[in-house]
Amino acid sequence: MIRTAGPRELPAWLILAGGITLLLGRTALTGGSAAPVLLAACYVGIGVAAVSVREVSPRPSVLGRLPVLMIGLAAIVLVASVVGPWPPLRLGWMGAPGGVLAAVAEEALFRRLAYARLLRFGAVVAVVGSALAFALLHVPFYGIEVLPVDLGAGLLLSWQRWASGTWTVPAATHAAAELLAVLR
């Protein structure tokens, strides 16, 4: 039986819509000296709002959190060695902390809120739907050429959400990928 969204779900959907809108508009925040601070505030706001919503029936881990995290970390290192350089970062000195804030905010939004809302239609829809939304969201900021890599990353992160039973494992993997991008 498929559950329908009730009135208690409205705040989650509003936060999801607002977070996606802010992330889509972040290209407007990348110019000027205040850009890193504005982006950081945007990411903190999205993350706090997404985490403030009551978790929808978390489920136990399928494989265990640590093995799922290790698989994700190994995958990003492998992809980094195969794909080559990533798009240049636009944040200068704020690259590392900004990337980690962005990773946690995006994971709270996509793997906590979107995934949980899509899960009522089944795990495959939740994994693919949240991955596709994640990948499409990055196109305005980085360009269409990143779509295949971001879709692959989104599928990995969404699979981690399913396999670990929590959004924090993909958040850790995503943060590690952001740090790796800065260090390269």
In the predicted model, is pLDDT for residue 1 greater than 60? no
Q: Per the confidence metrics, is the pTM higher than 0.75?
A: yes
In the predicted model, is pLDDT for residue 63 greater than 80? yes
Q: What would the pLDDT profile of 96-130 be if each residue is shown by its tens digit?
A: 888 899 999 999 999 999 999 999 999 999 999 99
CB distance 105 to 50 below 8 Å: yes
In the predicted model, is pLDDT for residue 66 greater than 90? yes
In the predicted model, is pLDDT for residue 92 greater than 70? no
CA distance 13 to 50: 10
- The pLDDT assigned to 91 comes to 52
CA distance 22 to 141: 12
184: how many CB neighbours lie within 10 A of its CB?
Answer: 10
Q: Which residue has the tokens 């208690």?
A: 8
Q: What is the DSSP string of 116-177?
A: HHHGGG-HHHHHHHHHHHHHHHHHHHH-GGGHHHHHHHHHHHHHHHHHHSSSHHHHHHHHHH
**142 vs 59 pLDDT, higher one:** 142
CA distance 19 to 173: 20
Helix/strand/coil for 54: coil
CA distance 175 to 153: 12
CA distance 51 to 4: 22
Residue 10: band (very low, low, confident or very high) from pLDDT cuts 50, 70, 90: confident
- The pLDDT assigned to 50 comes to 94
**62 vs 83 pLDDT, higher one:** 62
CB distance 128 to 158 below 8 Å: yes
- The pLDDT assigned to 89 comes to 54
- The pLDDT assigned to 2 comes to 44
Q: What would the pLDDT profile of 72-86 be if each residue is shown by its tens digit?
A: 999 999 988 887 666
CA distances from 13 to 42, 67, 127, 130, 156 (A): 18, 31, 18, 14, 24
